[in-house]
A and B are shown apart, each in its own frame.
Chain A
Amino acid sequence: MARMTFVMDARRCIGCQACTVACKAENDVPLGVWRTQIRSKEVGKYPSVRRHFYQWICAQCGNCVEASQNNGVGAVSRRADGIVLVDYEKLTKGRTKKQIDTEIDAAIEACPIGAFSRNPVTGMPEKCTQCAHRVDKGLVPACAQTCLGRARIYGDASDPKSEVSQVLGRNSARPAPPNDCSDPYVFYIELEGSLVDRGALEGFAQVKTSDLNSGKIDQVVNSLGGK
């Protein structure tokens, strides 16, 4: 059984943000929200300053799947290859807005990464799909395709010959903090913590129902508000 996995090599990431933009262009992610970001932390005193990068992305851990089952009809599910996707018809067909919101919010709450969100344009759940539409055509996800530092390695971890398997074999990799993911499919090499003091993109990494209702997000999406 395929096990589609991301290995993020934090040593190789140079923070160019080509991935962030490629994802937005590939998936028409609205302004002000993201499916992946490059977060960073500056450490050290002059002149030995370094910058650590964290390729923030949905871990495909399945916590949201469980929450969606327990609080609705289980519209969020894991495919056989591990990718967690949302079945929009199942989510919406014959259901009230309240039921839908409850199910989405439960999934949002359950996401330890903060990567399960709502699309402010469609109002639908918005999360990294590992570019399933590309993967199904034998392509790698858009962010991995463009990754200039070759810091995003993608493939089938159940295939010992794949690059991911080999990289995982050679290096010690761990899931993203805070280690609350039940069954993650994204692993990091030399991740120096997820604390951020730079490069946190202003806007809504995670759009909640309350944000949609408050209208707060309109300002960001329509005029790119922020600092």
Chain B
Amino acid sequence: MSSSNKDKKREKGFPVSRRRFLQVSGGVAAAGLLGAAAKKGVASTPPASEKKLLPVNLPIPETIIKKSVCHQCPGRCGIDVYVTDGKVHRIFGNPDHPIANGKLCPKGYFGAQILYDPDRFKSPMKRTNPKKGRNEDPKFVPITWDEALDTIAKRLKGLRGKGESHRFALCFGRGWGASDVGTIETFGKLYGSPNIPIGHASMCSEGSKRAKRATDGNDSYSAYDYDNANYILSFGAGLLEAFRPLNYVIQKWGKLRDKSPRARITQVDVRKSTTAIAADRSLIIKPGTDGALALAISHVILTEGLWNKKFVGDFKDKTNKFKTGETIDAKQFTEKWVSGLIEWWNAELKDRTPKWAAEVCRVSADDITIAAREFATGGPSIALMERGATTYPNGVYNGMAIHSLNALVGSMFAKGGLMYQMKPPYGPLPANADDYMDDYAKAIGGKGIPRVDMAGTSEWPLAGTMLQEVAKNHLAGKPYKLDTVMFYLTNPIFSAPDCKKWEEALKDIFVIDTSPFPGETAIYADLVVPDHTYLERYQDTPIYPTYGYPTTNLRTPVIPPLYDTKYIGDTIIEIGKRLGGKTGEYFNAIKDSVNVLKHLAKGFEKEPGDNGVKDFKGWEEKGFWAKKPYHWKQIEGEFYEWDGKDYNKKMTQAEVKERLLKTPSGKFEVKSNLLIQHAGYISKKYGITADRVGFPQWVAPKYTGGGDLHLIVPKYAFHAEGRGANLPLSIEQFQPYVGGRKGTYLEMHPKTAMARKINEEDKVKISTSLGSIEAKVRFYEGCQEDVVVLPFEFGHWAMGRWAKGRGSSNSNEIIENVSDPISGLASYNASLCKVEKI
């Protein structure tokens, strides 16, 4: 390549050919950087790795290894960032970090391209073109931070002055910890708006959380003891593609396969996904029927007497009375840690035979029976799921049916089973927000102003958040119109179902975006207050439920911020200070986000981490605080607490209820009290009788869209959180099995395609009731004949120079905004579509 091309690449901001030798010793390593700037043309300087054959007399700069945390998924792998001459040139997994284990998934390597993205916003900016639209240039002009923050504070004060503080909403996607979402939540409380924050969980994975809350009382994702498991029954979880933390899960997958005898993995899926292909057995089902399959597995476990008697309980006379189709007198059974089993059997399970499920799910009855026997006898076993089984209108019932399997085989809190995630022992902040609520803030809760998304109201009584409803409700003015909305790490204008509604809605709202780079939201922004990228900021990141014992990482700025940007936590604090009054006092006491982090770290003094971290300095040096073990264990039907040496302390029923099985009964409820509390609402929504609502049960999902093919929209391994579409390293290997750089590929069974006279590589129109998008077709034998697969995260239209011109196949444009009435999770995978050749 000519030197001019090379220079062009430089301009684009990606460092070229910096070579180095590594010398890893201790925390900080000196490394020789032997790559001088490449000279022109063919005779340029060779890469230094080869150059070791040559005598070299170049100065050797220092390479510093800084600890931080990956940002490409919620997994929170600890990373070692190599910085030479002030440039980030390499990211490795932190070898000490319990999730990363010295490795990274492919996304982990993208960091430098996020930091050095040439299209980054370099300072706060305001819009000067009042017209908004996809093709309208916002005509941003740079402004100072003072002007930006004053503008926001003035708007917010104005709203409060009119008693309309609820018309300010702050929507966030990936929240990381106390220093971002924690600060935002406090801000909402002091300012007084029910819409601060509106999280994106209803567009993510809320269904599994609600299924768990309904059955075991924990509104949370689960942590899994993969190391000791012998059998994994995964319902649509992309363990090798998307499940978090991908890095950790894939490594565990390898370990499960190394064990002797080797652990078995069964994947339930709607297509031969990468995970399904690699599993020992795959059960390919009709989309949205995971619950039916799980119920039939329970049926087999009970009729064949394979349930865990010590955890579940047993018949008084020890003889199994579960016989297909026959009801049982509940008095004959003594329940241990499961509540409502016989009622569940009588109302639902007795007829959920493998033969019945075979019809519903399209799997053979024999395969279901075999999977059930394996699951119940080959344990310790784990049944797991997230979006795959729950992004349907019947998602929570699917999820409850799946999660109940864990109770039946006694895997709850058991070795090789599943548990929940312990939180880190953070210290208190320098001020207590409750002491700083003024009369306005105190009164707002009593005014009965609903959230703009109606979450938690009679419309969505069990939903915690409903981000996908915001645009629709604003447009309808119901319950009211928003005035100002701020976005942090979320981009619903691209990612919400029926996302085009957002393009309408954001036209008459004052939009504040905090993204460090261009994106669809930014195009509609009136004000941009850019965040630091993740390699430039301090931020705490307590881990997602992963392995149970508490762990919290610290993101640290590996280099000083490249531009005039500000960490979201500090942006919020600064706005708070400018609001004055008690809110201002509070945020003055808080000072800044590093001060927040230092106070959090004081909690480590009493409980130093296993790696010796006991203060902020240690946290920064090591990159994380973690302390083994998980404190509770269920052994043969009894619960024990860690006493500092072992699980010696037997727990009372009350303790179990308080800490582990947090349901009203203190047991795993297969007759859910939570759902029964909302019986009227649920029975109306599903058309089932009120006496049935509490049971994990089969409700047929209503499919949307109105076509003849199921449209499945999975996440791929290269989908780096919110940014993959604009990262060259990701684009160049996008969708390795579906292919596609310039456009997206739709996976289709050859027969289905041929019937429509569609060939491989043909361009097709995918349409639903909402309109159509385009993609190219790739034949895949592993697709069911009535299922087509189009990965999401493609078809961005305003992400930056690399994302440009790569097709218009955003599945969210054609997926109807329909949600599970219980969890509120958007039914992304419930759409039908038509596919025609263009």
- A44 CA to B739 CA, complexed, in Å: 20
Knowing A25-B91, A148-B251, the reply to whether A46 touches B737 (Cβ < 8 A) is no
State whether A124 touches B1 (Cβ < 8 A). no
- Alpha-carbon distance between A128 and B184 when the two chains are bound, in angstroms: 48
Q: How far is the CB of B830 from chain A (nearest CB, A)?
A: 22
Q: How far is the CA of A81 from the CA of B732 in the complex (A)?
A: 33
Residues A198 and B739 in contact, CB atoms below 8 Å apart: yes
Cα distance A86–B45 in the bound complex, in angstroms: 12
B746 to chain A, nearest CB (A): 13
Given contacts A16-B240, A146-B104, A226-B741, A122 and B46 within 8 Å (CB-CB): yes
Interface of A toward B, CB cutoff 8 Å = 12, 14-18, 20-22, 24-28, 30-32, 38, 40, 42, 44-47, 49-51, 85-89, 92, 97, 100-101, 119-124, 129, 131-134, 136-137, 139, 145-150, 198-199, 201-203, 212, 217-218, 221-222, 224-227
The majority secondary structure among interface residues of chain A is loop
- A222–B22 contact, CB under 8 A? no
Residue of B nearest to A135 (CB): B49
User: Can you offer 24 A-B residue contacts whose CB atoms are under 8 A?
Assistant: A14-B240, A16-B250, A17-B106, A27-B19, A27-B47, A28-B16, A40-B736, A42-B782, A51-B737, A87-B50, A88-B46, A121-B5, A129-B50, A136-B21, A139-B24, A145-B92, A146-B104, A148-B251, A198-B739, A199-B736, A224-B731, A224-B732, A225-B742, A227-B761
B218-262 contacts to A, CB under 8 A, are: 240, 246-247, 250-251, 253-254, 257-258
Instruction: Give the residue of B47, B246, B739 whose beta carbon is less than 8 angstroms from that of A28.
Output: B47
Of the listed residues A86, A137, A224, the one surrounded by the most CB atoms of chain B closer than 10 A to its CB is A224
Chain A residues contacting B718 (CB-CB under 8 Å) are 17
Beyond known contacts A21-B733, A212-B1: 5 more, CB 8 A cutoff: A24-B109, A28-B47, A51-B277, A137-B22, A218-B1
Please indicate the chain B residues that have their CB under 8 angstroms from the CB of A134 in the complex.
22
Check A24–B736 contact: CB distance below 8 A: no
Q: Is B680 an interface residue (CB 8 A)?
A: no
Binding-face segment, B36-44, B636-644, B664-672:
B36-44
Q: Are A121 and B38 in contact (CB-based, < 8 A)? A: yes
Cα A119 to Cα B92 in complex, Å, equals 24
A15 and B106 in contact, given A49-B272, A145-B92 (Cβ under 8 angstroms): no
Report yes or no: B732 in contact with A201, Cβ–Cβ below 8 A. yes
Interface residue from B41, B52, B781, B802 paired with A224 (Cβ < 8 Å): B802
Question: Is A122 a contact of B45 with CB atoms below 8 Å?
Answer: yes
Q: In this complex, what residue of A is CB-closest to B12?
A: A222
* Smallest beta-carbon distance B282→chain A, Å: 7
Q: Pick the contact of A16: B105, B732, B741, B780 (CB < 8 A).
A: B105
Cα distance A51–B22 when bound, in Å? 36
Residues of B within 8 A of A203 (CB): 732
Indicate if the CB atoms of A46 and B783 lie closer than 8 Å: yes
- B729 at the binding interface (Cβ < 8 Å): yes
Q: Give the most central of B50, B278, B761: most A CB within 10 Å.
A: B50
B48, CB-defined interface residue at 8 Å: yes
A201 to B735, CA, bound (A): 10
Q: How far is the CB of B314 from chain A (nearest CB, A)?
A: 38
Ranked nearest first, the 5 interchain pairs of A and B with the lowest CB-CB distance are A88-B46, A123-B42, A49-B782, A148-B250, A133-B49
Complex contact B272–A224 (CB within 8 A): no
- Judging by beta carbons under 8 Å apart, are B277 and A146 in contact? no
